[in-house]
Amino acid sequence: MGFSSEAIFIKPELSKEEQLTLLNNLGYSDYIDNGETYFEEADSRQKHGVYIGHINGATYVIYDGVYETGNRNKDQLTDTEQKIVDTFPNSEILSLINIESVNAYGNSYIKAGTPIRVKEGAHPHVITNYGEELLIEKDYYVKKEHIDGNEFFYTKNHYQEGELNKWTHDQIGGSVAFELTKMIAGVSYTHDDIFYSEPHQFIPKNELQNVLSALENGKGEIPDKYVGFIPKKDFNELIDSVKEQLDSLNFKMDDQFNFKKEQNNLIYNITFTPFKDNEHIVRPQLNYKIEARRKEWYEEKFNRDKNRLGNSINNNIQVDAHSIGISDDRRDIFRFQGDYSYEKLSNEILIKIEKVILPYFEKVNGLEFIAEQNQSIFRIDFYLMAENYEKAEEAIIATLKKLAPVSVKESWTQEKLNNVLLEFEDKSGLLSNKIDVREIFESAVTVDEDDKQGEPSLQESIPPETEELQQQKSQLKKPWWKFW
């Protein structure tokens, strides 16, 4: 459904004391800091409370209704803007809204209390258009023209050089509003710097006290937005309990509540990291996974972190607990059935670890086991990592025989085909026995007569070995320690 965003940016950045003063002047004096949260929450339709964050020397404020519409006349400030100007008269202020589902947008730029530029609109009308276009607006539009009484805006097409995109004001207004944050924050509203900025959430003090009381006493209704949260003191006690359980098994906890143990060339990982770690309440999550150092192995053997097709190599083992007979109902144990109980939750966590996580870790006991649970390149890599070259050779040959007819049926390009074969030659270069990847591949191509019509012959499909390719193959067949 796209963005549904509204925010006010203020420069220079506000101190903690200035933030509290602003909250008070905006009518939120009874709100208290509930700690850091994610920007996605502040920017979502499920936002709750007031969010205040910082980015590149500026402060942003987000809450439902922070951008007031429908009561502005040209250079008139909204009530919210006037309160901010009264509190910080020498600041730069940018208000923006972008509701993409209905093509509604607005932006208001104020400097030292003076409105400089305001533009608001929604399909099909421009509602307010005050002041000269800002430099970013002018740069954003390559050109403008009027056709049959309608104004159209043209922007660069980033996918086709030299081409322009054509928009009406309501189609482009939200994007322009987002770009204008560069004036205050140095980056656009959609930039990663903003999405990783972790604002603080401020919520009503009485509401929080009611939630804590309901949790601690096991009585009272908990609003949906607080389902899954527990008191922070309870979370701290649970961490101590889990740590005590895992210490005896040689798991080490880091400062992010990740419990890790390395064994059998694998990393066993239990995470009890809070999804939201607020000052008073915490939304925990309990996850587990096993990783193999496949990425590091790949970099060591082939001096790159991507395969020949450009796909990144990761450490995931791709072995699901259910696939090997470990029963895990995947239920979120923090979404309580009935009233909250610390004792009940503590017991469920310990059972999850003992009945699900540790049996899974025990069963996935090495690289060869993981190889058996995987297919294609994954199986090959894990056998090679385990130095079981006989099984790795079998996996290479079996995978080539499966891919060969597929390559013709799907009409792989010469570039893709060449990269796939090079990838297999990379792998085969690590084997103790030499195998001819291209010969195995060619002999395995079988296509029905109907499929052959219009398809390139195998000889055409497989590019000839150039001198450069022969040099690459020669280099890949060197022992791994000679790569350094």
**How many other CB atoms are there within 10 angstroms of residue 145's CB atom?**
10
* Alpha-carbon torsion, ordered 249, 250, 253, 258, to 10 deg: -60
Determine the 3-state secondary structure of 291 from DSSP: strand
User: What's the confidence (pLDDT) of residue 229?
Assistant: 86
Task: List 54's β-bridge partners, or say none.
Answer: 59
User: What's the confidence (pLDDT) of residue 252?
Assistant: 94
pTM above 0.75, yes or no: no
Cis peptide upstream of residue 456 (ω within 30 degrees of 0): no
User: What's the confidence (pLDDT) of residue 456?
Assistant: 38
User: What's the confidence (pLDDT) of residue 337?
Assistant: 63
The tens place of each residue's pLDDT in the chain, 484 residues long, gives: 578 999 999 999 999 999 999 999 999 999 999 888 889 989 988 788 999 999 999 999 999 999 987 666 667 899 999 999 999 999 999 999 999 889 999 999 999 999 999 999 998 888 899 999 999 998 888 888 888 777 888 887 767 777 788 888 988 889 999 999 999 999 999 999 999 999 999 999 998 888 888 887 766 677 777 888 888 899 999 999 999 999 999 999 988 889 999 998 899 999 987 766 667 888 888 999 999 999 999 999 999 989 998 899 999 998 989 999 999 888 888 877 667 888 889 999 999 999 999 999 999 999 999 999 988 889 999 999 999 999 999 999 999 999 999 998 888 999 999 999 999 999 999 998 889 999 999 898 764 434 444 433 333 334 444 444 444 444 333 332 222 2
Question: Helix 376-385 to helix 389-409 angle, to the nearest 10 degrees?
Answer: 160
User: What's the confidence (pLDDT) of residue 357?
Assistant: 95
Return the H-helix or E-strand segment holding 473: helix 467-476
User: What's the confidence (pLDDT) of residue 31?
Assistant: 95
**CA nearest neighbour of 389 among 431, 440, 429:** 431
9 touches 93 (CB < 8 A) = yes
Return the H-helix or E-strand segment holding 97: strand 92-99
